Amino acid sequence: MNLPNILTLSRIVLAGILVFLLKANTRTGYILAVIVFAMASLTDFYDGHIAKKQGLISDFGKIMDPVADKILLLSVFGILAHIRMIAWWMFVVIAVRELVVTGSRLMAFRQGQVLAAERAGKIKTVVQIIAVSSILLYLAIQQAHRIWLTVNEGLMILAVILTVYSGIDYFRSKNEKFYN
């Protein structure tokens, strides 16, 4: 197992730690959640960067990197919906897209195809990470400024729109590759 794959798998472990910290519903838990989420987000950047730079790109990484992202983000979005920091419908839209695309990737993998993340999906993930980071920072500093809530809501709406768009783009691209 190479370093990029270890970094990818560490995101799954960090997702569990984040759920624990957020469920504690304490200021300390929220502060630690910001730190853990920042670490997890950095592993997402560095696993790909190291894999490309050192020629360590693998089918395992192509499959598990987006899966680890989904586990991390869906865990956090689920808790944020539970504590009413985001609307449940936002979580449901994001979760449905992520599960459908992941299921499609896994079916393609069974047929011998490895489908890496598309550009729209990568942008979607970055926006989701920014939205979660903003919400976690808000929770950590316990500031109830309406402007921050508005920014968080705007970021979540953007994350949902990009989630839907990247799902459509994924299937459009997959169909073009399959039928050409």
The CATH number of residue 172's host domain is 1.20.120.1760
Band (pLDDT 50/70/90 cuts) for residue 178 is: low
- In angstroms, what is the C-alpha Rg of the chain? 17
With 70 as the cut, is the pLDDT of residue 77 above it?
A: yes
pLDDT higher than 70, residue 14:
yes
Q: How confident is the model at residue 73 (pLDDT cuts 50, 70, 90)?
A: very high
pLDDT of residue 115 exceeding 60: yes
Quote the pLDDT of residue 151: 80
Which of 4-13, 23-32, 53-62, 118-127: highest mean pLDDT? Answer: 4-13
Q: What is the pTM of this model?
A: 0.80
pLDDT of residue 162: 94
What pLDDT, on a 0 to 100 scale, did the predictor assign at position 147? 67
Domain count, the chain: 1
SS3 per residue for 32-66:
HHHHHHHHHHHHHHHHHHHHHHCCCCCHHHHHHHH
What count of other Cβ atoms lies within 10 Å of the Cβ of residue 162? 22
Structure tokens at 150: 């508005």
Residue 77 to residue 143: CA distance in whole angstroms = 20
Q: Report whether pLDDT(163) > 70.
A: yes
Domain that holds residue 13: 3-179
User: Residue 143: what pLDDT?
Assistant: 52
**Looking at this protein, which amino acid is placed at residue 129?**
I
More confident call, 126 vs 145:
126
> Given pLDDT bands bounded at 50, 70 and 90, which one contains residue 96?
very high
pLDDT-derived band at 112, boundaries 50, 70, 90: confident
